[in-house]
Amino acid sequence: MSARQPRRLYKQVEVIGAGPYGVTLDGQGLKTPLKRELSFPSQSLAEAVAAEWAAQGERIDIETMWLTKLANTSIDRVQDNEARVIGDIVDYAGSDLVCYRATEPESLIIRQGEFWDPVLCWAEQAVGVRFITVEGIVHQPQPKETLNAVRQHLARFDAMQLCALHALTTLTGSALLAMIIAAGALEPERGWLMAHVDEDWQIERWGADAEALERRNRGKREFDAAVRFLTFLGEPPVRPV
């Protein structure tokens, strides 16, 4: 435990700068695991990260520092690799959760439509493409034009926003859910429910598995952190496509 949770050696946590912003521990600026400077484009995000560090006790538990972990990942893994990360999200869009519908029973088919059809309508309006839906689980490739449109839509996000978008995509299994949440066109809580339509339908009939419930609860904490991260960052900047 001591090796995983180093002792807290600092007393003062401060936010510095006037954009970009930094966080200091006893005057020393935070750095990423790869020793890169950790800076933030918004004061609100810097303050939220500072609050995570200030809240630590005698030992530092990085597992409770969701925003810090996202910031580190965005700088060490996403920055200068935006095209690859966008490609990962586009791959999810190519077999998006909301496009694969049940063939039975009728109650599940109706519920999937109620939850997922509005997401596809949003994509048609916001991204300018229509996704193909499929009954069953056999993979149906989306048209190249559709995926290229998604790629162009994602190109306006910076490294930190892409990091959070990628997290939302993997946690929900849906690039479209991640995108509509990032656009502010869907309440995150409803988005989380949309990602678990099938699972919740099964739970209503057969009950919940304790281990699966714990995995879902952890996923929800990560999901909430990614949403907060995006909220603190604000509107995506316009980047050249």
Give the model confidence (pLDDT) of 92-136 as tens digits.
999 999 999 999 999 999 999 999 999 999 999 999 999 999 999
Distance between CA atoms of residues 122 and 116, nearest Å: 10
List the alpha helices (DSSP H) in 155-196: 159-172, 175-182, 188-194
In this predicted model, what pLDDT tens digit does every residue of 183-231 receive, in sequence order?
999 999 999 999 999 999 999 988 888 888 899 999 999 999 999 999 9
Q: At what angle do helices 210-233 and 66-73 cross, to 10 degrees?
A: 70
Distance between CA atoms of residues 30 and 126, nearest Å: 38
User: Among 230, 221, 222, 229, which residue's Cα sits nearest to residue 49?
Assistant: 229
In this predicted model, what pLDDT tens digit does every residue of 133-190 receive, in sequence order?
999 989 999 999 999 999 999 999 999 999 999 999 999 999 999 999 999 999 999 9
Distance between CA atoms of residues 43 and 92, nearest Å: 32
- The DSSP secondary-structure symbol of 78 reads I
Distance between CA atoms of residues 83 and 157, nearest Å: 11
Q: What are the residues facing 72 on neighbouring strands? A: none
Q: Distance between terminal CA atoms of the chain?
A: 46
Entry pTM: 0.91
